């Protein structure tokens, strides 16, 4: 029975390690595995009394216990492409191990060692929750991660406040029979299982969301593809209810000639560069997608006049931009058609009207922007 918490923690360590082997890009899974392994090993060191000398046992278990939450926080930060500075890792580690060594070798007090260890571990995890606080503005998976860390960190403080007085000051044998130790083992099993399952759910959700993103994203430009835009239709129309919504259809002029003269690799560079310029022009709430070879759609949360102004700036910027793979003096131009969404109209119906306006712009000579009621006869 004593080894149940250890076995549970090591089981989760092995599980996260196996998942990481399948998803090597997700480095945070390896950190989670090492965190569970460190704490699980620390409990075994204490139970097995290895090394048998209490002083050395204190040092080894302190190092493992301190490493656990540090690895856990590093994993959570790595999931968001961040990390904790090495100096801060070292400071936390040295503080916990140093305190435990001091209160054994200099001023032997088991109760203070237990307080220091639990408060130290809880503080590390709560500091991780603080660093992750911006995830509360993210999706439900991100918010769940923050709540997991917040709840876990608080349990270490609750453990000390509720049962800390039952810890003896110098009797190690009595400590393993104390109310605090019994509660600690029960809570470690319960909370360890909850944390492990919670992080596994987060990991699985991350993988599913990544697969969905890959399915809905054009790999060349990083913009949405046709399927991705279709999946956003209901959300876009709902968000624009009662507000103006402009849809812009775009086509790169004579793109087939670019491919024929300079090769498909150069053509791909043109598409990627064009998408990058377009992305920089988008504002919060705007959406862009590549729906065909050289065909793009922008959905803009603004009036027709504002959509026209933004699109014209984009057209002029494209016309003077240099595209890798093309001669320095070669100009890439684009044509645009803009339509305004009407109440009750589906997104693809608006796109269809914008597309017709786009082809009117191309027939008029290309390198121009036409909009409903604002068609210009020549390029600016």
pLDDT in tens, 158-167: 877 876 565 6
Compute the distance between CA of residue 76 and CA of residue 143 in angstroms, rounded to an integer. 12
For residue 75, the surrounding DSSP H or E stretch is helix 54-79
User: What are the Cα distances from residue 139, in Å, to 72, 73, 124, 218, 301?
Assistant: 21, 19, 24, 22, 22
pLDDT at residue 4, as a whole number: 79
Least confident interval from 31-40, 85-94, 135-144, 161-170: 161-170
pLDDT surpassing 70 at residue 193: yes
pLDDT in tens, 268-277: 999 999 999 9
pTM: 0.74
Q: Read off the pLDDT of each residue in 124-137 and give the average, rounded to a whole number.
A: 95
pLDDT in tens, 305-331: 999 999 999 999 999 999 988 998 899
Show Cβ contacts of residue 260 under 8 Å, excluding neighbours closer than 6 positions.
Answer: none
Its sign, for the CA torsion 72, 77, 78, 84, is: negative
pLDDT in tens, 211-265: 888 899 999 999 999 999 999 888 888 877 778 999 999 999 999 999 999 999 9
pLDDT at residue 237, as a whole number: 83
pLDDT at residue 180, as a whole number: 65
What is the CATH code of the structural domain delimited by 226-371?
3.30.70.270
DSSP state of 136: G
Compute the distance between CA of residue 109 and CA of residue 100 in angstroms, rounded to an integer. 9
What share of the chain has pLDDT > 70, as a percent? 91
pLDDT in tens, 136-169: 998 888 999 999 999 999 988 987 787 656 565 6
Mean pLDDT of the chain: 89
Show Cβ contacts of residue 326 under 8 Å, excluding neighbours closer than 6 positions.
Answer: 258, 262, 266, 269, 270, 332
pLDDT surpassing 80 at residue 181: no
The residues annotated as belonging to the active site are 294
Q: Read off the pLDDT of each residue in 60-81 and give the average, rounded to a whole number.
A: 95
Could you tell me the residue ranges of all domains in the chain?
4-214, 226-371
Question: Count of alpha carbons within 13 Å of 173, Cβ hemisphere only?
Answer: 0
pLDDT at residue 166, as a whole number: 59
pLDDT band of 379, cuts 50, 70, 90: very low
93 with 66: CB under 8 angstroms?
yes
pLDDT surpassing 60 at residue 380: no
Compute the distance between CA of residue 280 and CA of residue 298 in angstroms, rounded to an integer. 12
3-state secondary structure of 289: strand
């Amino acid at each position: 029975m004593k080894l149940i918490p250890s076995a549970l923690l090591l089981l989760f360590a092995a599980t996260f390690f196996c998942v990481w082997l399948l998803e090597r890009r997700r480095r945070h899974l390896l950190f989670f595995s090492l965190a569970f392994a460190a704490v699980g090993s620390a409990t075994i060191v204490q139970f097995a009394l290895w090394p048998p000398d209490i002083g050395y046992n204190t040092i080894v278990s302190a190092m493992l216990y301190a490493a656990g939450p540090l690895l856990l926080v590093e994993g959570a930060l790595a999931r968001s492409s961040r990390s904790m500075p090495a100096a801060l890792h070292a400071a936390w580690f040295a503080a916990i191990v140093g305190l435990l060594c001091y209160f054994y070798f200099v001023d032997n007090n088991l109760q203070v060692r237990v307080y220091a260890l639990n408060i130290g571990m809880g503080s590390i995890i709560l500091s991780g929750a603080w660093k992750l606080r911006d995830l509360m503005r993210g999706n439900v998976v991100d918010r769940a991660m923050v709540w997991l860390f917040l709840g876990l960190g608080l349990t270490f403080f609750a453990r000390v406040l509720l049962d800390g007085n039952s810890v003896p000051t110098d009797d190690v044998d009595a400590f393993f029979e104390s109310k605090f130790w019994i509660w600690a083992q029960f809570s470690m099993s319960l909370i360890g299982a909850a944390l492990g399952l919670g992080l596994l759910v987060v990991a699985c959700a991350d993988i599913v969301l990544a697969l969905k993103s890959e399915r809905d994203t054009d790999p060349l430009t990083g913009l949405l593809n046709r399927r991705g835009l279709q999946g956003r239709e209901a959300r876009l129309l709902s968000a624009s209810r009662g507000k103006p919504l402009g849809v812009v259809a775009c086509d790169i002029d004579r793109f087939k000639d670019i491919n024929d003269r300079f090769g498909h690799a150069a053509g791909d560079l043109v598409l990627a560069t064009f998408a990058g310029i377009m992305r920089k022009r988008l504002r919060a709430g705007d959406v862009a997608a590549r729906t065909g070879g050289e065909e793009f759609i922008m959905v803009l949360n603004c009036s027709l006049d504002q959509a026209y102004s933004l699109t014209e700036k984009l057209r002029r910027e494209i016309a003077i931009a240099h595209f890798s793979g093309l001669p320095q003096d070669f100009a890439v131009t684009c044509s645009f058609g803009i339509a305004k969404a009407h109440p009750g109209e589906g997104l693809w119906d608006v796109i269809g009207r914008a597309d017709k306006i786009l082809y009117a712009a191309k027939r008029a000579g290309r390198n121009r922007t036409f909009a409903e009621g604002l068609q210009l006869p020549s390029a600016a």
